[in-house]
Chains A and B, each alone.
Chain A
Amino acid sequence: MTHHAAGTGPGPVTDHAGRPLRALNPFDAARDADAVPAAAAPGEAPGARRPRGGFWSRPVVRVVGGAVLPLLLLGVWHAVTTGGLVPPYQLPTPLSVWDAALDLVARGQLQTHVAISVQRVLVGFVVGAAAGLVLGSLVGLSRAADVLLAPLLGGVRAVPSLAWVPLLILWLKIGEESKVTLIAIGAFFPVYTTVAAALRHVDPHLVEAGRAFGLRGVRLLQTVQLPAVLPSVLSGLRLALAQAWLFLVAAELIASSMGLGFLLNDSQQNGRVDRILLAIVLLALLGKLSDSLVALGERALLRRYA
């Protein structure tokens, strides 16, 4: 039936372990809305509706539960380093990493590293995702573009990210352009692939209905096709953002004088394991934070459209 079209896409949104992320799935959003009239079961007080899955679905449990393992890890880290189980030149204590952070902040360096890395990721992500959206729409909607473009782009996608670095440096020098371009390449493919695939599978019945009511070209794309593939576009964007952070470090490790990747490389040269750990923790925090922000936007959009 028609509402299948809303869920057309690569399937549920999953986390890194492949488990579906409940709140982010268009399918769950649909079930939530359906459940509203049914929720007022006889004999149940209003507001007593418990979220599906009981205990583990409570918002508080989800926030606190998500912090349990990282805090535990921090505790173990602290215990093994202060207890002398691991020598500090291999694994410094959490406190010394914190001190390294304060030290770099005092010198005004950490802010610069973080800011430049975030800027590179954002610019590269926006450029790559926009290009992915345009070319993905083209290849997904036009037979001719599919025949002409898809094989070439498939080949380009197969090139490992690091293979581009020598060429980019040769052509664009060791400036911002080379790094942003590499990140854009990384962000491009998840968006391009998901959008092209999803557009090919939009319910042809819906598209025909749109055509029957006089919609064509860009208006048909706006009114029927893009809303129908919105869930896939959004999960493509999240993948692209993760990929952008990945490519950032690749770019900064090799040729840069600023940024978190530079901090990693530089600290390796100087034997500053505390700063290496600091950079890794920062990458984890920034990556998770940006993903959560996009996830919030995704949720709002899906509530409106799916």
Chain B
Amino acid sequence: MALTTPARTRADRPAHGVVLHDVRRTFPTPTGGRPVLRGVDVELRAGEIVALVGPSGCGKSTLLRQVSGLDIPDGGRVLLDGTPVAGIDRRTAVAFQEPRLLPWRTLAQNVALGLPAGTPKDAGRARVAELLRLMGLEESAGLRPRQVSGGMAQRASLARALARNPGVLLLDEPFGALDALTRLRMQDLLLDVHAAEPATVLLVTHDVEEALYLADRVLLLRSLVAAPDDAPSVARVIDVPGRRPRDRADQRLAELRAELLEGLGVATHHVRPGDADDHHSI
């Protein structure tokens, strides 16, 4: 999904730094509260891509929802550029695992939904057209969501999020439901978009390789159900080496991949270089 026309950089839209300070979230259940997030202290630098990985139910999506304002923490603070998030924040935009497009609207009309309130009509139309071109959807602008493939719908969903000119882009497993090849293409598309319109990106993913390919840092969350009472949600922070675009077969990434998978409790049968020479790790 190479870009033919690189989008202009938008200097009017700065990326925002994000600070989460001692964030705590507990879900009420009939048998008492179930802790989902505890002691989350994270700082995202402006323009950084950070991936959240962890076992199912560890609170990855919940953490993302604290930043978007779709959910409110029970304790702690979430700050964007120093000001607290209260309710749905104009400076953030979300793309969900499902495209969640309105079925009765065309792709272009769906993308327009993301435009900030009060955008002048002409500017809005131009911006939607620009985003559709960026996503390679200009031919499909007039189609309804059910008339396009899952990958196209997901690109429209990403375009809708970008239409908001977010300083922080929140992606909740955006490529999780796509087939393997489409997913790889979408990852490169996301990097192109990030290069053209750098926002701070918080990405929830199940896919360790995706996290290592895209992110500057990977946060490994633990499930609090089996954890000791005082253990914080963030189990590890991994700085990913190398500049993007990265070589998917990079040996250092393979090492980190094995490390992360072991952190997730998955046996990798990984053989470190030097242990044997006829094994391939990826």
Contact = CB atoms under 8 A, between A and B. Distances in A.
Interface of A: 1-3, 5-6, 30, 33-34, 37, 205-206, 208-214, 223-224, 227, 230, 304-306
A209 B100 contact: yes
A225 to B, nearest CB: 11
A30 B103 CA distance: 10
State the main secondary structure of chain A at its contact with B. Answer: helix
B164 A213 contact: yes
Contacts of A30: 146
8 contacts: A2-B99, A2-B100, A2-B102, A3-B146, A34-B147, A208-B100, A213-B93, A304-B104
B100 A211 contact: no
Given A2-B100, A2-B101, A209-B96, A214 B70 contact: no
Interface of B: 68, 70, 88, 90, 93-94, 96, 98-104, 113-114, 116-117, 144-147, 153, 160, 164
A213 B70 contact: no
B104 A213 contact: no
Among A30, A37, A212, chain B packs the most CB atoms within 10 A around the CB of: A212
Contacts of A211: 70, 88
State the main secondary structure of chain B at its contact with A. Answer: loop
Given A212-B68, A213-B164, A214-B90, A33 B147 contact: yes
Given A213-B164, A227-B102, A3 B145 contact: yes
A230 to B, nearest CB: 8
B68 A214 contact: no
Contact of B98 (A33, A205, A212, A213): A205
Contacts of B103: 2-3, 5-6, 306
Which 10 interchain pairs have the tightest Cβ spacing? A209-B100, A6-B103, A3-B146, A305-B104, A3-B103, A212-B94, A227-B104, A205-B100, A213-B113, A213-B114
Contacts of A206: 100, 102
A208 B102 CA distance: 12
Contacts of A33: 144, 146-147
Given A3-B145, A214-B88, A214-B117, 4 more contacts: A1-B98, A208-B96, A208-B100, A227-B102
Nearest to A4: B103
A230 B103 CA distance: 12
Contacts of B153: 2
Contacts of B68: 212
A27 to B, nearest CB: 12
Contacts of A210: 113
A205 B145 CA distance: 15
Contacts of B70: 208, 211-212
Contacts of A213: 93, 113-114, 160, 164
A223 B116 CA distance: 15
B88 A212 contact: yes
B152 to A, nearest CB: 13
Nearest to B163: A213
Nearest to A302: B104
B66 to A, nearest CB: 13
A99 B1 CA distance: 77
Nearest to B150: A1
Contacts of A2: 98-103, 145, 153
Contacts of A305: 104
Nearest to B97: A205
Contacts of A1: 98
B123 to A, nearest CB: 17
Contacts of B98: 1-2, 205
A306 B88 contact: no
Nearest to A224: B102
Contacts of A37: 147
Contacts of B94: 209, 212
Nearest to A212: B94
A33 B144 CA distance: 10
Nearest to B92: A212
Contacts of B114: 213
Nearest to B69: A212
Contacts of A212: 68, 70, 88, 93-94
B156 to A, nearest CB: 11
A223 to B, nearest CB: 7
